[in-house]
Structure 1
Amino acid sequence: MQPEPFVREAGAGSGVVCLHSNASSSGQWRALIDELAPGFHVLAPDSYDAGKSPSWPSDRTISLSDEVALIAPVLARAGSPCMLVGHSYGAAIALMAALTSPVRISALALYEPTLFSLLDAESPSPNEADGIRQAVARCGDALDAADSGSAARHFIDYWMGEGSWARTPEARKPPIAASVANVRRWAHALWTEPTPLVAFRSLNVPVLYMTGEQSTRSARGVERLLTQALPKVEIVAFEQLGHMGPITHPEVVNPVIERFLRVCAAGG
């Protein structure tokens, strides 16, 4: 039996499904949900092993198609067509969901999808994905040594800059460290995704592609490829933000998402 995710839900109107990043949960979208709820039916699921959703139930290593299957009932509740918002791993899931059911998705607002398989398909290592590849390896070594704190530090410091884990409030560290236990699973899903870059040329829907100019080389490399392939893409670069912009600066990112969704819902 297919597990169902926990879902935050609010509002009425055109359906919007928000997909969170790794080491996070649907809670990262609280402010956006509040902003959108007066005009949209907003649903934000927790992914496997995040928030209140179930654990990945199989010994088989997860794929992005499994992540898409988990949110299938959420997309159904959102109605057809609906719009997707995604950040990082969640943005990668959003892209795959749109390819899987193109008639059900009318627009995508993406902040730095992490489809690293596209970089390796373009050119084997050494390439732009090496930084995150090395960070994942360091995380894995720390997990093998039963040091979840160090694993979380490697992961967070890669995405947010050296010293970010040390500056994280102590109360927030335990759930982040617990989630980073799944880092190899996330990496496997992102690096083994077989979908070729050319497939994204068929996504004939409006795409808002957001990026932080202070982000990592790996995220910017994926941006370079996808923004050339997506046929209806609008690029917004936030000069002072990094990869975690939707979490660190929602007051900057959320209004851009909201404006895009309102234009799309109005048929613009």
Structure 2
Amino acid sequence: MTTPTPHVRATGAGPAVICLHANASTSSQWRDLGDALSARHRVLAPDLYGAGRSPDWPSDSRIALRDEVDFLAPVFDQAGESYVLIGHSYGAAVALIAAVTWPERVHALAIYEPTLFAVVDAQQPQPNGTEGIHAAVAASVAALEAGDLHEAARHFIDYWMGDGSLAAMPEQRQQPVAESMRNVRRWAHALTTAPTPLEAFAALDMPLLYMLGASSPESVHAVARALIPRLPKVEVVEFAGLGHMAPVTHPDIVNAEIVRFVAAMAP
């Protein structure tokens, strides 16, 4: 059986930077950042399982973040012995698990609102700030099981971006987002089960930029409250007026912060 390998968008030359995208997105969300970094860095932006031009995961309901990390092993190997990891949302959660798995290879981390809800639920039962995302996922799954991908996308996207956000998207963008909702059950499984112990993140002894949107849903702020105190070399940046999808909706603002951080990490 052929081992599945990710499709990778690659640009530039120099020390490696790996960029991991959010759910309902693809590696293309990092195109502008790749352009900004490519003069001095080799930028590798893979499509995760079931996204963009990468192969699909064989189950529609179960996947672990470690499965995503294993899938990306060829990208990490291509990056060499040391690299900077960048991630947004689900991609930020994958980046954290990759750093826990291979801390000696990750030179630095820049993450925007990792969605590691399991660490919050393991720390404290609900109500704990994660109720909104659990409700949104349940509504999306119900719509998916009823055969309505658009309604599944509406629940999911509007939770993250505000009521009416899916409807406000160009029609040509709505369809691929709706199609991506076939993955919602496995995204939820990856992010809400088998939590990595918080103590594992305390061992991440590398510079880490943790970015937040002040207007983001409470669920990601709950994750931040659990994670940030455990991270030994963390720098926190909160963007006033921005939300969870700011790396996509306001890439100029977020990318400028990432470029600053990556430049400071240069050998």
Measured against the shorter chain, the TM-score band is: over 0.9
Alignment correspondent of 2:32: 31
Alignment correspondent of 1:159: 160
Does 2:143 match 1:142? yes
Alignment correspondent of 2:71: 70
- Consecutive unaligned residues in structure 2, runs of 5 or more: none
The amino acid that maps onto 2:158 is: D
> Is the contact made by 2:61 and 2:186 (CA closer than 8 Å) also made in structure 1?
no
What are the superposed Cα offsets for residues 165-207 of structure 1, whole Å, 9 maximum, x if unpaired? 1101101011100111111100000111331111100000000
Does 2:86 match 1:85? yes
Partner Cα distance (1:225, 1:234) in 2: 15
> Is the contact made by 2:122 and 2:195 (CA closer than 8 Å) also made in structure 1?
no
Partner Cα distance (2:145, 2:25) in 1: 22
> Is the contact made by 1:15 and 1:82 (CA closer than 8 Å) also made in structure 2?
yes
Partner Cα distance (1:159, 1:86) in 2: 17
C-alpha change, 1:60 and 1:166, in structure 2 (3 Å) is closer
> Is the contact made by 1:16 and 1:84 (CA closer than 8 Å) also made in structure 2?
yes
The amino acid that maps onto 2:141 is: G
Q: CA deviation at 1:111?
A: 0.1
Does 2:173 match 1:172? yes
Task: Name the SS of the counterpart of 2:119 in structure 1.
Answer: helix
Task: Name the SS of the counterpart of 1:103 in structure 2.
Answer: coil
Alignment correspondent of 1:18: 19
C-alpha change, 1:129 and 1:59, in structure 2 (3 Å) is closer
CA RMSD of aligned residues (A): 1.0
Query: Structure 1 vs Structure 2: percent identity of aligned residues?
Result: 57
Partner Cα distance (1:142, 1:61) in 2: 18
C-alpha change, 1:58 and 1:184, in structure 2 (3 Å) is closer
What are the superposed Cα offsets for residues 67-91 of structure 1, whole Å, 9 maximum, x if unpaired? 0001111011111111100000000
What are the superposed Cα offsets for residues 123-155 of structure 1, whole Å, 9 maximum, x if unpaired? 112221110000000000101110100000000
Q: CA deviation at 1:54?
A: 0.2
Task: Name the SS of the counterpart of 1:67 in structure 2.
Answer: helix
Alignment correspondent of 1:52: 53
Q: CA deviation at 1:241?
A: 0.5
Alignment correspondent of 1:42: 43
Partner Cα distance (1:132, 1:59) in 2: 19
> Is the contact made by 1:48 and 1:54 (CA closer than 8 Å) also made in structure 2?
yes
Tell which deviates more after alignment, 206-215 or 58-67.
58-67
Between the two proteins, the alignment pairs up a number of residues equal to 266
> Is the contact made by 1:210 and 1:237 (CA closer than 8 Å) also made in structure 2?
yes
Q: CA deviation at 1:60?
A: 7.6
After the TM superposition, which segments of 4 or more aligned residues of structure 1 sit over 2 Å from their partners?
Answer: 57-60
Alignment correspondent of 1:127: 128
Task: Name the SS of the counterpart of 2:84 in structure 1.
Answer: strand
Partner Cα distance (1:193, 1:7) in 2: 28
Alignment correspondent of 1:105: 106
Please, what TM-score do these two structures have when normalized by structure 2?
A: 0.98
Task: Name the SS of the counterpart of 1:110 in structure 2.
Answer: strand
Alignment correspondent of 1:260: 261
